Amino acid sequence: MKRIHRIINGLIAALTLVAVSGAVAWAQEASPPPGEGSQLPPTDWGLQIWTLLTFLVLFALLAKFAFKPIAQALDRRGESIKKSIEDAEKQRADAKKLMDDYQKQLADARNEAGKIIEEARQLGERVRKEVVDKSNAEASAAVQRAQEEIQRQKDKGIQEMKDTVAALSVQIASRVIEKEVNEATHRQLVDNLIKDLSKVQRA
């Protein structure tokens, strides 16, 4: 604001100088031409005084009614510009703070998402391992039961075969005791035993 006042004062001084110079020039032009042999033109001091008084009155009126409102308007304009700059700086600071908060929230969200993804991966790995272990255990149990069942069936078949062989042996022995055993009878008994064993194996 001091600079504006200095500019206004400089303009006033320049206007004063221009007005005084114009008044003097005009007074010289209005004076009658000098006579022959005259070296200096006559000066109209009254006209110059009135011109100067008129300028001073006009200058005083302008200073009282014009310069002060102009200076006040310039001051208000300067304050408005200063306030606008301060508001812009405040808005820029607020925007920077909001951007920093947004960046922080974004980083936190990314970290949280990374944790959730890692937890989901670990959970999936645990579930997969549990399913594989359970399947292997069930398969092993099924194989064990199948092997036990095969062994029982095998033992049962062997036992049945032994019982059948024992029964046939008893029958053969009783037949041998009942009749005399010759070569033909012996062959017949052996053939019958083989046939009975074949029936047992097919069953």
pLDDT, tens digit (0-9, with 9 covering 90-100), for 48-64: 888 888 888 888 887 77
Q: Is 182 inside any structural domain?
A: yes
Q: Would you call 103 helix, strand, or coil by DSSP?
A: helix
Mean pLDDT value of segment 124-146: 89
**C-alpha torsion angle, residues 181, 183, 186, 191 (rounded to 10):** -160
Q: Supply the pLDDT for residue 86.
A: 92
As given in the structure block, the two tokens for residue 35 are: 């006579």
Q: Structural domain of residue 189, as residue ranges? A: 157-202
Asked if residue 191 belongs to a domain, the reply is: yes
Of the pLDDT bands very low, low, confident and very high (cuts 50, 70, 90), residue 178 is: low
192 domain residue, yes or no: yes
Number of domains in the chain: 1
CB 63 within 8 A of CB 15: no
pTM more than 0.75: no
Q: Does residue 87 fall inside a structural domain?
A: no
Q: Is residue 177 part of a domain?
A: yes
Angstrom distance (rounded) from CA 44 to CA 46: 5
Residue 133 in domain: no
